[in-house]
Structure 1
Amino acid sequence: MIVSEPREEIAAWVGARIGVEFHPPYTTLAHVDRGRIIAGFIFNAWTEHDIEISLAADRLSLTLMRAVYDYVVNQLGCRRATCRTRADNSKAQTLLERCGARQEGRQHGYFGDCDALLYAIMKEDFPYGLHAKGPQGA
């Protein structure tokens, strides 16, 4: 089941897994299976055309990825999403690239003990959106 509440619980779950603490304002989406979160997204730093996304997941579903695309593009009206990952997290980098993200830069010491890689996903490059469910997209 895809849920957006309780925001604080979803943010705490994601934050504990990626080593950050989130402070409002933010919104959330999560996939809950048998009463436990298996994937969560935090959306913050919205600037009308861009939203910053943080993610943690045990596994990702196509349903959740389409819900994320719908939220970012159709509800928020963003053209792009910005993501950061640890430079030593090759699984996250692979996932971002599979979702259409392109690396835009490096932020030295962002995580304290590790650099961050900065990625952007443009709405036209996000594979679970424009043509995923026909001409209208997700």
Structure 2
Amino acid sequence: MLKKYLYTLLFLGWVVIITVLSLFSFSSMDLDTGTLNIPYADKITHFIFYMVFGFTGCLSLRERTKGSLGLAKTLKIVLVLAIIYGILIEILQFTLTTDRMAEMGDVLANTLGAFSGIGLIRWVFSKKNPLKWKF
């Protein structure tokens, strides 16, 4: 049973991880970040999180529809879903949390990450690769 819904479970788990990490306050925890200072580390994190969101979202939708939805339509659906979800998370950060900030830069990083994730899907299922979209 788990094998049948592997990508769907991975995608839903990833969405939960993004939600928790985006809305949970880490300021009350004593986290030693050391002296490592990476410029734009939070934007890079947003980009990577939403790249995985886009990639696993496409695989999940493919799994749920057995590839009958079509690659192009799936990519559009997942891209729109990722953008809306990213904006919603930023709104929730603004309204529900006291120590988290909503930033347009985060929305941009989320969107670019989602584009990268679906671009990776397009490459994986391209004519140059042996994987087929339909089951």
TM-score by length of 2: 0.33
TM-score by length of 1: 0.33
Q: Which has the higher contact order (CA 8 A, sep 6+)?
A: 2
Which of the pair has more CA radius of gyration? 2
Structure holding more helix per residue: 2
